[in-house]
Amino acid sequence: LTSRVTSKKFGEGVVAAHKEYIRESPTFFAFFKEENTGKNLKPKGLNVFLYDWNRVVLNENPDYYHASYVDGCTTPQQYILAQAPFDGATQTDFYRMLNQIRPDSIVIMDSQDSPDMKFVIPNKYEGQAITVTSGEEQKCEGYVVRDLTVGKNKMKLYFIDGWNEDKDPPKDFVGVYDKIRRAIGLDSKSILIVVCKDGCSRCGFFCLLDIEAERFRTKGRMKFGDTVRHIRCQRSNCFDTPDLFETAITLIMHLAKKYYDKNDNAATS
């Protein structure tokens, strides 16, 4: 403990140490509560676990939604990685989360016509507690933008088109990521919510690219292994198979080449 507090106030050192240790031995009590089991999607019959220590806790009961805070490159809780709603109950809780967090933007790692996203758009919403409306779609190259109003909060949904399988992202996914990030704003201070069917298989890719892109812009380097561990410690099951891990490596290589080519062109111009 003393090695962690030499340059900090003692209380800050204790908090930092506790955060490190809790990641090494996480608990899943909320995930396994009987009243919450029906709110956990089981893709292919497998559990996607939810850590207690950084789960998104809704203000009112029931306080459970399958979503986790994830720290960014330098900003704590920069992201929320969330499971997509898959029935009326989870749709209501999803909108409650949006009404509580009030994000400016939500990235949906699927097309708006995907069966897995049918409860994201409010034409299927039957709840009465929160008014939810969606606006007209704006088609862009590789993605679609829609306005969403939840209560009094306006936000934008970015649906990424072209997915086949989780391990097979759309063509030029790195380019699509870059366009969406710039549309949101490189210096946006709002929490960014990233959604896919299970909240991990595809969400991890966007989070990985965003963290590494910021690291390269601000520090001129990338740390693939550190960032993968960083995300996995905060959102269970991300990069959980060799196929997903291989895809992550490929995406980072494309991102690095994009920045290398950009810098090379700037140096020779």
Q: Each residue of 95-137: pLDDT tens digit?
A: 999 999 999 999 999 999 999 999 999 875 767 678 899 999 9
CATH number, domain with residue 47: 3.90.190.10
- State the angle between helix axes of 224-232 and 203-219 in degrees (0 to 180), rounded to the nearest 10: 140
Question: Token digits for 183?
Answer: 């549309």
Identify whether 154 is part of a domain. yes
Q: What is the pLDDT confidence band of residue 48, given thresholds at 50, 70 and 90? A: very high
Q: Is the pTM of this model over 0.85?
A: yes
Q: Please report whether residue 55 resides in a domain.
A: yes
Q: Which domain holds residue 216?
A: 2-260
**How many domains in the chain?**
1
In a domain, 267, yes or no: no
Residue 265: inside a domain: no
**DSSP assignment of 97-138:** HHHHH--SEEEESS-TTSGGGTTTSGGG---SSS-EEEEEEE
User: Integer distance in angstroms from the first to the last C-alpha of the chain?
Assistant: 51
Q: What is the mean pLDDT of the chain?
A: 91
- The two structure tokens encoding residue 228: 């993968």
- Determine, yes or no, domain membership for 269: no
Q: Which residues pair with 158 in a beta bridge?
A: 107, 145
CA neighbor of 204 nearest in space, from 180, 226, 174, 235? 235
